Amino acid sequence: MAGALEGKNVAILATGGVEQIELEEPRRALREAGAKVEVVSPEPGRIQAMHQDIDKGDMIDVDWPIDRAVAGQFDALVLPGGTVNPDRLRQNDAAVAFVRGFVTDGKPVAAICHGPWTLIEAGVVRGRTMTSYPSLRTDLRNAGAEVVDEPVVVDGNIITSRDPGDLEAFCGKLVEALS
């Protein structure tokens, strides 16, 4: 797959509290396939990653502040989870508008675990078939999505996955969608 995504630019939207493995694994897979991957965040500088919302992980460098990033600069978007990360993002108008821009433009948007919370806030899940971490499934249904319990689901330009145990399938579908 090396080089398959040469010339593609992918944004990962995250803030403090992001689940580290859900940011790092898609970034690694995309880079190995040749894509340029940049972290976009409402927080400037660096963000604190977490391991299962309990233990602090690494500090992650931010490439773009959300107020300077535009969906048109990127070919795809990744929304990692952790419970704190998407909860903060869905309260940030610029982050929600950024997400909505990708979906409206028909670009691939890949959300894992709690990442779909931001898609719900962006108002883009109605009529979609999706999966997520179990605790979000009622929220997705209430927002008009059909929810299934599968490792990874692709519905048009939206890719969703349940949890870190599904990262291999999730990353594979994301790379495939950009190829």
The catalytic residue positions are 114
- Rounded distance between C-alpha atoms, residue 156 and residue 159, angstroms: 8
Q: In whole angstroms, give the CA distance from residue 68 to residue 168.
A: 31
User: What is the DSSP-derived secondary structure letter of residue 138?
Assistant: H
Quick one: 4 exposed, middle or buried, by C-beta within 10 A (0-12, 13-18, 19+)? middle
DSSP character at residue 42: S
Do the beta carbons of residue 70 and residue 102 sit within 8 Å? Answer: no
Three-class secondary structure assignment of 64-124: EEHHHCCHHHCCEEEECCCCHHHHHHCCCHHHHHHHHHHHHCCCCEEEECCCHHHHHHCCC
